[in-house]
Structure 1
Amino acid sequence: MRYTSKFNLFYLIKKKLIPKSLLSRFILIIIIPSLIGQSIALHLFYERHWYNVSYHTSSLLASEIESLLQQETVYQNKNQIKNYLNLSYILEPNKKINTTTQNNSEELEIFQKNLSKKINYKHEVFLDENGKIKVLIEIPKNLLIITIPAKTLLNPTTYIFALWIIFLTIILLAVSLIFSKNQIKSILELTNAAEKYGRGEKMPEYKPSGAREIRKAGIAFLKMKDRIERQTAKRTQMLAMISHDLKTPLTRMKLQVELMDDSEEKEELNHDINSMQYMISSYLDFARGEGGESFSKVELNKWVSDYIKLSWNKSNIELEQKKNNIFAQIKIYSFTRALNNIISNATKYSTKIKISVYSQNDNAFITVEDNGKGIDNIEKNHVFKPFYRGNKARTFEDSTNVGLGLAITKEIITGHYGSISLAESKTLKGLLVKIKIPKLAD
């Protein structure tokens, strides 16, 4: 249980913190190693290298001061500024250290510690107002004041090194960002081409570009596109041939039946021939999937309203629409057939129908509700299957059909990159059919 909670926490942190876009992830991949590398470099420089340099330099200065204290001339010249090696000193008689302890830099603290190891006199080290290092040593009845140039121990250019690292990092990130955007541009071009082709829109001229792997993906997409178009053309040609071959003998049979005298057998034969023609048309429509029709951009509210007025003006249909425009890409003939199939079924089994058009996020919805009997929950899982006809509830078929009505409807909606589902209507208490398709930007 604890492992599961930790895993869920890690998943949530990962989901929240990791950027969603590819460019953001590229930047993150570049920034994190760069920051880690620069942090290690600064740590090694300041904590290791610079400490060692400061330690050795302060040790040499402490040794020089120790050597100075061993010189007899130091105690002979009072109130006179003298030089010894890199040191400048003055001996003031009858004075003591009266300065307060100051917060020194790390380099001066190292120097203070090294000096304490070399001499036994009371002493104080600090940086004066003029930017020079002062060393006060209290020797018997005298105060020795030693002045050391700050640059001997302190390096004022250390911050320049840190600024240079930051500046260099910014330059590297800028250059990396330019190259990353160029790589992502080729991915976006491939994505745009695949998305437009998938929606059936006119695909812009696409040429694979970018890195080798992206070019290979682009070439694979173009090959796939060519294969799909060849297979679609072959299937359309084959279906046209099948349609001709099957309908021709049926037409001859129908002509022969018309020449027969009126009788019960003639009516049965006419019924059988019409049923066969209807079934053949359904088979071909299902196999074809209306694939030859191109997409058109429509405003769904207006299109559905015009469709209802034109095809179902005399039916008891309530139309509910939002005021905002909802644009979508549809194959008008195919989509009309799918919607007509749903509404005609509703009119058979109900007396009141309600159609709603609305949108949520990136999707457009069309719902058809009625006050009829509805469909059992068990049947809802099967009615979309080809050649299935329910027995316990209403279906989308008539006596001449073979169970393809709702299957064809689903095939059409799927061809629009959408989905269709069945549920119980909460307002009319009958069947609710919900169609979802992608919405276009206004």
Structure 2
Amino acid sequence: MMAVLQRIFPRGLYWRAALILIVPIVTIQLVVSTAFIQRHYEGVTRQMTNGVAIDLGFLLSEIEAAGSPQAAMAEVGPLARNLEITLTIPAGEDAPMKDRFLFLDLSGRVIVDTLRERLPGLVAADVSDENRVVNLKFDTAVGPVQAQLTRRRMSATNPHQLLVLMIFTSLLMTGVAFLFLRNQLKPITRLAEAAEDFGKGRIVSYRPRGALEVRAAGRAFLDMRARIERQIEQRTLMLSGVSHDLRTPLTRLRLGLAMLPDDPEVEALREDVRQMERMVEEFLAFVRGDAMEGAVPTDAVALVRGIVERAGPKVVLAGIEGRAEPVSMRPQAVARAVENLVSNACRFGNRVELRLAFDDRSLRILVEDDGPGIPEAQREEALRPFTRLDASRDPNRGGGVGLGLSIASDIALSHGGALRLGHSARLGGLRADLMLAR
């Protein structure tokens, strides 16, 4: 039951607030309509109709005593005019033959029922006239008698007018309340959007507004964002200094080794220096993560095609799904992530295929190879930094330093997405699914 209700109820904050606002109003309208219109209006109509029934009963008794239609008209006519009742003796051709009232005329039913209870000689009553004239026909000793009078004497104002007024007022007040509610909910929506953009690596302008609690949450978010930005900036500055300090002695070593004669020992030292430089670059890329790069709308297809062209003949762009549109991203960071995935795939496979899938909420870049893949039990471990799953991945044997997948995963998370590893059904090796939020 709860699952069904969860599927039916709206998920958005605006629509949930609107539901909370509208349901009580509709419930109140139903209760008021039932209690006030059906009871109060019916009671008022019955009381007023009883008063008219007394006047009609008196006139009918005088008509019965007159003995003839002419005498009855002469004696009762002036009295009926004073009571604002039009008598026709004998009844005319427009006299009703049966009871008539509109289907939704609540007070009309009460009028007919009350007159029949109080006036046994009533033959028919017509309360359906658009000019609000009640047309009655009676059976008397002098023949059929027709009586006509305005309905205002028998019922209060039409209850439908009150219904229309209530509905109009409710709609108006609901609209006003919704506008006020939207102004209260808009700051929460803006805070959620700012937090979501920050999670995707985008810094947008945000100013706390709304109620005190919302302003407090907004200020806490700004303080948190400022602390994170300061930490990123301080880490980047520190790494810049470390990078300079490490690269200078490595450069001196490389130049010194270049001046030595070629022999196996010197070549081994040169390879060690190149390996150290590569490790330093990967360490810095992992810690830095291109955090200071701004997100811009980027042609993802062109970015991936450039990577494919630089990677060599083993790598192909196998397909593009969905409508290719510019995606807001940090292009250098995404390029580094895809290059890491392609580099790993080329190291262990002979064929690598890339695919792009665009949808409304995300961009997926799939990298598949025909290599040995990664066992399912080790895929989560493979995303951890400095993790090498086997000896073939040892940097001293041509492998990496265990940061390629970690860097790609970190970049995906900074774009509001994720990196998922799986089995390639097409090529039989590893499938890396790099998802970026749009």
Q: Which TM-score band applies after superposition, normalised by the shorter structure?
A: 0.7 to 0.9
Amino acid in the other structure paired with 2:417: G
Amino acid in the other structure paired with 1:336: A
Alpha-carbon separation, structure 2, partners of 1:355 and 1:91: 97
Report the Cα offset of residue 152 of structure 1: 0.6
SS of match in other structure, 1:210: coil
- Determine the structure 2 residue equivalent to 1:169: 170
SS of match in other structure, 1:435: strand
Amino acid in the other structure paired with 1:322: I
Report the Cα offset of residue 410 of structure 1: 2.0
- Determine the structure 2 residue equivalent to 1:122: 121
Report if aligned partners of 2:87, 2:147 keep a CA contact under 8 Å in 1: yes
- Determine the structure 1 residue equivalent to 2:79: 83
- Determine the structure 2 residue equivalent to 1:350: 349
| CA-to-aligned-CA distance 1:282-325 (integer Å, 9 cap, x gap) | 4443333232333343212222222333x334x33222343953
1:53 aligns with 2:48: no
- Determine the structure 1 residue equivalent to 2:154: 153
The count of corresponding residues between Structure 1 and Structure 2 is 423
Residues 145-154 or 260-269, more deviating = 260-269
Alpha-carbon separation, structure 2, partners of 1:417 and 1:9: 30
Amino acid in the other structure paired with 2:315: I
SS of match in other structure, 2:405: helix
- Determine the structure 2 residue equivalent to 1:63: 54
Report the Cα offset of residue 69 of structure 1: 5.3
Report if aligned partners of 1:345, 1:396 keep a CA contact under 8 Å in 2: no
SS of match in other structure, 1:40: helix
Report if aligned partners of 1:89, 1:144 keep a CA contact under 8 Å in 2: no
Residues 21 and 306 from structure 1, CA distance in 2 versus in 1: closer, same or farther, beyond 3 angstroms? same
- Determine the structure 1 residue equivalent to 2:210: 210
Alpha-carbon separation, structure 2, partners of 1:109 and 1:301: 74
Report the Cα offset of residue 190 of structure 1: 3.5
Report the Cα offset of residue 407 of structure 1: 1.9
TM alignment of 1:7-22, pairs within 5 A:
7-14=2-9, 18=10, 20-22=11-13
Report if aligned partners of 2:200, 2:437 keep a CA contact under 8 Å in 1: no
SS of match in other structure, 1:219: helix
Report if aligned partners of 1:397, 1:404 keep a CA contact under 8 Å in 2: no
After TM superposition, the score normalised by the length of structure 2 is 0.78
| CA-to-aligned-CA distance 1:218-246 (integer Å, 9 cap, x gap) | 32222222111122122223334555666
- Determine the structure 2 residue equivalent to 1:301: 301
- Determine the structure 2 residue equivalent to 1:386: 385
Alpha-carbon separation, structure 1, partners of 2:341 and 2:91: 113
Alpha-carbon separation, structure 1, partners of 2:161 and 2:286: 75
Amino acid in the other structure paired with 2:97: T
Query: Out of 26, 30, 52, which is 1:39 matched to?
Result: 30
- Determine the structure 1 residue equivalent to 2:237: 237
SS of match in other structure, 1:79: helix
1:317 aligns with 2:315: yes
- Determine the structure 2 residue equivalent to 1:200: 201
Report if aligned partners of 1:87, 1:146 keep a CA contact under 8 Å in 2: no
| CA-to-aligned-CA distance 1:382-439 (integer Å, 9 cap, x gap) | 21122322128x6495547543332223223323333222233333322222222234
- Determine the structure 2 residue equivalent to 1:366: 365
Identity %: 25
Report the Cα offset of residue 79 of structure 1: 3.1
Alpha-carbon separation, structure 2, partners of 1:100 and 1:94: 11
Residues 28-37 or 136-145, more deviating = 136-145
SS of match in other structure, 1:373: coil
| CA-to-aligned-CA distance 1:197-237 (integer Å, 9 cap, x gap) | 4333452x432233333333332222222111122122223
Residues 353 and 78 from structure 1, CA distance in 2 versus in 1: closer, same or farther, beyond 3 angstroms? closer
Alpha-carbon separation, structure 1, partners of 2:340 and 2:396: 11
Residues 148 and 231 from structure 1, CA distance in 2 versus in 1: closer, same or farther, beyond 3 angstroms? same
Report the Cα offset of residue 48 of structure 1: 0.7
Amino acid in the other structure paired with 1:83: L
- Determine the structure 1 residue equivalent to 2:21: 30
Report if aligned partners of 1:75, 1:91 keep a CA contact under 8 Å in 2: no
Report if aligned partners of 2:416, 2:436 keep a CA contact under 8 Å in 1: yes
After TM superposition, the score normalised by the length of structure 1 is 0.78
Alpha-carbon separation, structure 1, partners of 2:215 and 2:4: 38
SS of match in other structure, 2:382: coil
Alpha-carbon separation, structure 2, partners of 1:417 and 1:109: 66
Report if aligned partners of 2:350, 2:371 keep a CA contact under 8 Å in 1: yes
Residues 61 and 201 from structure 1, CA distance in 2 versus in 1: closer, same or farther, beyond 3 angstroms? same
SS of match in other structure, 1:78: helix
Unmatched 5+ residue regions in structure 1? 1-5
Report if aligned partners of 2:364, 2:436 keep a CA contact under 8 Å in 1: yes
Report the Cα offset of residue 42 of structure 1: 2.3
Residues 407-416 or 138-147, more deviating = 138-147
- Determine the structure 1 residue equivalent to 2:431: 432
Residues 123 and 353 from structure 1, CA distance in 2 versus in 1: closer, same or farther, beyond 3 angstroms? closer
Report if aligned partners of 2:64, 2:141 keep a CA contact under 8 Å in 1: no
SS of match in other structure, 1:421: strand
Report if aligned partners of 1:132, 1:149 keep a CA contact under 8 Å in 2: yes
SS of match in other structure, 1:133: strand
Residues 346-355 or 266-275, more deviating = 266-275
Report if aligned partners of 2:372, 2:429 keep a CA contact under 8 Å in 1: yes
- Determine the structure 2 residue equivalent to 1:288: 288
Alpha-carbon separation, structure 1, partners of 2:199 and 2:24: 38
Report if aligned partners of 1:384, 1:406 keep a CA contact under 8 Å in 2: yes
Residues 88 and 305 from structure 1, CA distance in 2 versus in 1: closer, same or farther, beyond 3 angstroms? closer
SS of match in other structure, 1:83: helix
Residues 11 and 255 from structure 1, CA distance in 2 versus in 1: closer, same or farther, beyond 3 angstroms? same
Residues 231 and 74 from structure 1, CA distance in 2 versus in 1: closer, same or farther, beyond 3 angstroms? farther
